[in-house]
Structures are given as C-alpha cells and as structure tokens.
Amino acid sequence: MSSITPPEAPTSAQALARQQQRTEELCAAAIRALAGERDLHFRNRRLHRGQQRLPLFAPHLHPKIEQDDFASFRGAADGLALRLSGSDPALHQRLCPTEPVDRLMFDLLEQLRVESRVPAGLSGVRRNLRHRFEQWSLAFHWAGLNESARGILLYTVAQISRSRLTGEPVTEETEDLMETIRGAIAPVLGPDLAGLRRTRDDQAAYAVHALSIARLVGEMVRSADDEAGRASYAVEGDDPERAAFSLLMELDASIDDNMPEAAAGRSRVLDEAEGRYRVFTTAHDREATATALTRPDRLKQDRERLDDLVARQGIAVQRLARELMTLLAQPQDDGWDGGQEQGRIDGRRLAQLIASPTERRLFRAERQDPKADCVLAFLLDCSGSMRQHAERIAPLIDTLARALDMAGVASEVLGFTTGAWNGGRAQREWIRAGRPAHPGRLNEALHIVFKDAATSWRRGRAGLAALFSAELFKEGIDGEAIEWAVARLEARAERHKLLVVVSDACPSDGATNLANDTDYLNHHLQDVVRRVEAEGRVRIHGLGVGLDLSPYYGRSQALDLAAQTPAQAMRETLQLLAQRVRR
C-alpha cells in the first residue's frame, strides 16, 4: 500500500464526501489485493463482501476522515485484509464468549494475532499497522479516556498484548502512565500473555489463552462495577467511563449495531414471474396535494409549530444556501472575456500588435460561471413508523427546501403512503374476485405532493406543514413511489436531476405481503432502483432514518436522529448529496 498517493485534505462537505469516497476506493483495492478476494468494497463506510456487510472487527480499524491521516487508513486497510485472510470466522464465532466485555476483548486479541503474522517481505504493511495502532492509542490518550481506573486497565491490556505479539514497544507517550497497572496485572495475565506469542500461528491454541485473558479482564471490569455500585457496560447509560470503554472497544456498534441494515430479500413470486411486477387494481390509486388532504386550520397550527422547530435548530439558512450552491452548481459557458494575456487569439486585437509590438493582451478566454441547472426531489416515506420522526424530519426538509430556493435550485417534496390499512378497497375487490393467487400489489397507493418544483418555498410552505398530519401515515409501497417521483423529475427541463428517498424501513404492506410473499415489495424496490441507476437520467440517493439503506441504494447515508444535533444531521445530508458515484 505504500505506493498509494493520499488525496488532498477536504475543505467542504462536498470535498469531504469525495475524499471519503476516494479513500475508500483506494483502501478497498488494497484490501482486495492483500486478502485475495475480488468482491470486497466499502458501502456507507462499512466493508462489504458482495451484499454482505462484514463485522466491525477491532476499534483501531475504523479511522475517521475528519481527524485521521491517510496513513491511518492504509494501516486499517491492511488490518482488515489480514483479518479476512488470516482468521477462520467460523472458529472465532464458535469460541467467542457471550459476556460483552469478554467478547470484545477476545475479538481485539484475535485482530492483534493476525496483525502480528505479517510476512517478512511486507515491511510496508507492518509499518502501516504500527502507525495506525499508535494513532488510535494517542487519540485515546489525548481525549483523557485512560484517566479512569477501568480506562487505563483496558488500554494497558491492549498495549501489552500487542507488544508481546509483535515484539514492538508500547506507545512511548503513554508508557509511564501504564506502569502501575502493568505491574498489578502482570502476575495474573503473565502466563497467558506469554502463550499468545507462542501459539499465534495456531488460531485454536491461541484462543485458549485469548479466552483466559478476556475472561479475567471481564471479571476485573465487572468487579469494579459492583464495588462502585454501577451498572454493567452492557447497559445503556450516561456514565462517561462507559463512554471511554465504548471508544476503546466500539461496544455499542459491535454488539447492538445501533444502525441496523435494511434486509433486501428476494421474492419467490417475482422470480417465478421473471420479475414482472403486478398491481391487482389501480382504480383507487390517487395523487393529491398535501393541502387538499389536511384541514386549513390544522395546517396553520402545524406551520406555526414547524416554524418554531426550524428556529430552534439554529441553522444559518443563507450559509446553507451557499453550500448547496457550491455542491450542486456546475461551471457553464457565459460568454468571453477579452484583453487577456493567454487563451485564444482574439482576431479583433491583431491590429494592436502592429501598432504596439510589445502588447500582450491579444487573447480572449471563455467565461464560466457556476450555475445550478438542477432539480432535487425529496421522496418521503409516509408509512406508520415514520410518524415518530416527524418532529425531526419536517424541520430538516423545510430548511433544505428554503435553502435550495435561495440557491436557485428547484426542489420538490413528495411523499408516499397508502389510502388505507391492510388493503382497503383493493383487498375487498380481490376477496370478491375469489382470492386469485399472487395478485401483486394489493392496496390503494397514495402519492402526496407537499411542494412541487414549480412552487417557491414561500408559496409552498403551508403544504410542508402537512408532514405533521398523523392520518397520512399508513403503509409503504416504495418501488412504485420511486417510479412516480422519477417520472416527475424526467418531465423537468433541468439538466441534472436528483432524488433523495427518506425512509426508516423496508417496503411493507400487510395485504400485499399476505397475498404474495413477504419480499414482494422489497424485491420490486431493488429492481426499480437498479433500473433508474442503469438509465442514468436521475441520480438516486437513500437517506436512512435509523436504518442503513445501502442494500437498496448505492449512494446512501444513515441518520441517527436521536443522537445527532440538527446541524450534524444537516451535515450528513450534505455529504450524501455530494456522493457522485454509485458504490
């Protein structure tokens, strides 16, 4: 990996996303080469093998583009490759303990084992691994997270275990801090630490010592918790020392995986029909404006509520508009500038050369101004589960629509739901027809226009308040909604067309699932997105609300609205819009 040229440092949301993408592409190529696997790639900042999302593995393998150097990414990539090529995942899973602390320490020790077995000829890989572990160690130290008794215990075990395995010294800056705890645990862990080095070429034999260390450390942590009268680290809480442990071991992400991944299953019914999606009846489908679906007095109250939430966000809309302009604008020809010292020869100025042989301003250059020849549509999932997110999603979308308007970018805010729960009139007609097998979609599709692209934010702001209307949220038929939104975008004259699908769940309609199979709508969504991407006329993005939508959308971002501030959620959304290439 030493031949990889690091990208330049990012300076904006757009540059940050491009930097992330470029870095991930370089790292994925290095991992494929070192691990000997062809189907490895990063998606939504996670390493995947085909469609399978791989585990997070050890905490030092996850540098952040905002704070780590490129050499750290090189080291992390090498560590991931060694784990994939040098560890038996089935054996590791079978031997892995169930207690959270024990389990995570055991996983770290297995990562250190594979990193200690770098072939002699790969000195660059060994150097990369050392750099990454040191940078992670220093970040932990500088954050003051090894100042608690438990923090220094876990940190010391990680340091001395790696030192025993690789023969390299512990991180010099923190060596003195570890002396006391090192001396205390050496008699207890000493024999197993020696066994790690001796058995590192045999995963099963090594696991005996790794398990012993993991359980001893787990007992120390739990004993300290009991004596202090505190809850276990496996329990959610606000304890800052637990936060330190989480940083060390990635506890939340490794065990609970707080951002679940959408399950993109395939439908047997659609496979047998060669992908021909069916709709039992469209007689009750409709498209409606949000203002027509909500009482005027209710809209007025909800608009006041939305204005209050937007104000409390504290987001500078003018600054956001400038960022969006930078993000979405493309340079376009806008005439010529004459009297230049370089460029194309301007025939009208040749006479000046005769009159003044030293004259150099004989050229003209094309003038290019950034223009946002673009339309952006937000397609909001209005299924029942999204209702709980309305107070966070509505101000986010309203602010973006207003900023896009200020940036001169046309925007639409659309929604999709059903006209009824459990099939409604469509299902009743199917029952009267004798319940024919595999009827396809079996509900009343309802497509909602909260604000169309021809309407400014100021004129359309009342419709956006309907995002609080609880009665609109029923079930979700995503694939057809995307086809509808794409058709609307394709009817527009703008050169660049973007669609952002905002959802917190997989497609779901009870009547359709029961009459076909549970993945019927899921399968159709995947086919629709794949077709839209292949046609290339509309760039589609997935914005997950507490859900990783990467199995559906090659360009995706997941928001954790419960943990993120409005500004952080906005930043994540801008990074999503900056993703130009499908991964």
What confidence score (pLDDT) does residue 153 get?
A: 84
What confidence score (pLDDT) does residue 78 get?
A: 94
What confidence score (pLDDT) does residue 24 get?
A: 86
DSSP 256: I
Helix, strand, coil shares, percent, the chain, to 5: 55, 15, 30
Name every residue whose Cβ is closer than 8 Å to that of residue 151 and which is 6 or more positions away in sequence. Answer: 145, 241, 244, 245, 248
pTM over 0.85: no
* Amino acid in the structure at residue 81: A
Paired tokens of 91: 């054996």
Q: Would the CA dihedral through 423, 514, 471, 313 be positive or negative?
A: negative
CA atoms within 13 A on the CB side of 241: 18
What confidence score (pLDDT) does residue 481 get?
A: 96
Q: What are phi and psi of 413, to 5 degrees?
A: -125, 115
In order of start, what are the domains of the chain with their CATH numbers? 13-256 (no CATH), 268-325+372-483+497-577 (3.40.50.410), 336-369 (no CATH)
Per-residue pLDDT in tens (0 to 9) along the chain, 583 residues: 444 555 544 445 667 777 887 888 899 999 999 999 988 888 767 888 876 778 888 888 988 887 889 999 999 999 999 999 999 999 999 999 988 888 888 999 999 999 999 988 899 999 999 999 999 988 888 877 767 677 788 889 999 999 999 999 998 888 888 888 888 888 889 899 999 999 999 999 999 999 999 999 888 877 765 555 444 333 333 333 333 344 444 333 333 345 677 877 889 999 999 889 999 999 999 999 999 999 999 999 999 999 999 999 989 999 999 888 888 876 555 566 666 666 676 666 666 666 666 666 766 766 656 677 899 999 999 999 899 999 999 999 999 999 999 999 999 999 999 999 989 999 999 999 999 999 999 999 999 999 999 999 999 999 999 999 999 999 999 999 999 999 999 999 999 999 999 999 889 899 999 999 989 999 999 999 999 999 999 999 999 998 889 889 988 888 988 888 898 899 889 888 887 544 4
Listing DSSP states for 69-93 in one string gives -HHHHHHHHHHHHHHHHH--HHHHH
Distance CA 468, CA 470 (A): 6
What confidence score (pLDDT) does residue 579 get?
A: 73
CB 496 within 8 A of CB 375: yes
Residue 277's CB is within 10 A of a number of other CB atoms, namely 19
What confidence score (pLDDT) does residue 243 get?
A: 38
